[in-house]
Structure 1
């Protein structure tokens, strides 16, 4: 899969955020009356009303700084900036999504998946969050989950050629390779089991007591073999005749003929 960078750039400049902060400070100074006294009830009420806006401005400023740091591969510093921003705007899904990208660049896949899952929970309609979640899941080898995440992203944004041609295509290719590997491994396992199922040739001990006993029994049988052979002949008329034939050069074996195994 092709490497990817930051899918979003912050459009506004950091200097603009800074200028807004200075304008807010200038507006606060107008609360002073001509005598130099501060209208504290009015001041407290105004600050209380502006606090969410100030949090948003500060969070955006930190987000911008984190993007610049990440683009310069200063990933740890970027994470620190985005964590500060999350304290101000904890519902910002884009912060979690960008954290997941940085964590993947640091090869911290479990935290990357967790950050992407949080981004999806915060904004289920963000196709970028689903895309990043799928890429993080691929980093953990969860191919089926990654394919589902990419499919959800495509359902939200079906015109994304990047999702079609890179993310989903790559994930399906990995899935096919995984299935082919499993099939090949199964065939090899079956072949190995077939080879091991044959009975091995026994390793006999030719000096064992059992082998010696068998040899002795054969020797005794050979000693008692008769030197002649008796044949019974029955003629066509029904006469029975017994003929004894002696073997030529028949000798009774003695104990010197046999060689002991030991």
Structure 2
């Protein structure tokens, strides 16, 4: 009985490395179909997996360093691109998300910065720098109360860091106090309706007096014209009757 070998299908392209790997695996199979005892396939598979993980970790580290170099030189979008590639290789690295959040805040991509910092905190809950970055991103987003709680988490993780107390937590508490004071002032001002301000007219100016006099003259002429009688001539009126009234003799009827 012949041993099983590699047979290429029609129209299918197979690399030489893949063919050699398969042929080497087929050589380990005896003519009776049993696997030779000196081949430990479980060990080989585990070793290949470890090698692949080592390659991914090394490449991710290289991309991380390249991103740091780009960010230090102001090439922020290129840095984010390198870190995104590194995240694809090592998605459990919290430092990649934390650095990405810092650069996104510089680019005013505040919402995305909060998302990246939240992932970093979830991956490494005891890392105080991740909490610090998340709090600063929340402050940039306007979430002052959330930022205060986040800085408290950072202080709880590392109480010995004075910058968390002096720069971050104290500043966030002060902003929250001012925010509450402004809210109280707005609530008190809602019940008071300010009186409307009248325009500042000069009622003694010559132009205004002349305009008012002209308007009064036009109104007086209109009233006189409305009160004047209107006469309508009726044809044939006053010809057969005696002329006792001068108005009737003229043949006019007074009408309004």
Range of TM-score over shorter length? 0.5 to 0.7
Q: What CA distance in whole angstroms lies between the structure 1 residues aligned with 2:49 and 2:142?
A: 48
State the partner residue of 1:101: 102
Are 1:76 and 2:80 counterparts?
Answer: no
Q: What CA distance in whole angstroms lies between the structure 2 residues aligned with 1:144 and 1:190?
A: 27
State the partner residue of 2:60: 59
Are 1:129 and 2:136 counterparts?
Answer: no
State the partner residue of 1:242: none
Q: What CA distance in whole angstroms lies between the structure 2 residues aligned with 1:68 and 1:164?
A: 30
Q: What CA distance in whole angstroms lies between the structure 2 residues aligned with 1:40 and 1:113?
A: 51
Q: What CA distance in whole angstroms lies between the structure 2 residues aligned with 1:163 and 1:131?
A: 7
Aligned to 1:107, the other structure's residue is in SS state coil
Residues 114-163 of structure 1, C-alpha deviation per residue, up to 9 Å, x if partnerless? Answer: 11111111111111111111111111111110000000000000011111
State the partner residue of 1:225: none
Higher relative contact order (CA 8 A, sep 6+): 1
State the partner residue of 1:88: 89
Aligned to 1:191, the other structure's residue is in SS state coil
Q: What CA distance in whole angstroms lies between the structure 2 residues aligned with 1:163 and 1:104?
A: 18
Task: Tell me how large the CA RMSD over aligned residues is.
Answer: 2.4
Aligned to 1:159, the other structure's residue is in SS state coil
- After TM superposition, the structure 1 = structure 2 runs for residues 4-43 of structure 1, keeping only pairs within 5 Å, are none
Q: What CA distance in whole angstroms lies between the structure 2 residues aligned with 1:66 and 1:82?
A: 6
Aligned to 2:108, the other structure's residue is in SS state coil
Aligned to 2:142, the other structure's residue is in SS state coil
Aligned to 1:192, the other structure's residue is in SS state coil
Structure 1: runs of 5+ lacking an equivalent = 1-36, 197-262
Structure 2: runs of 5+ lacking an equivalent = 1-19, 26-38, 197-256
Q: What CA distance in whole angstroms lies between the structure 2 residues aligned with 1:53 and 1:96?
A: 21
Number of residue pairs aligned between Structure 1 and Structure 2: 159
If the length of structure 2 is used for normalisation, what is the TM-score?
0.57
Displacement after TM superposition at 1:40 (Å): 5.5
State the partner residue of 2:185: 184
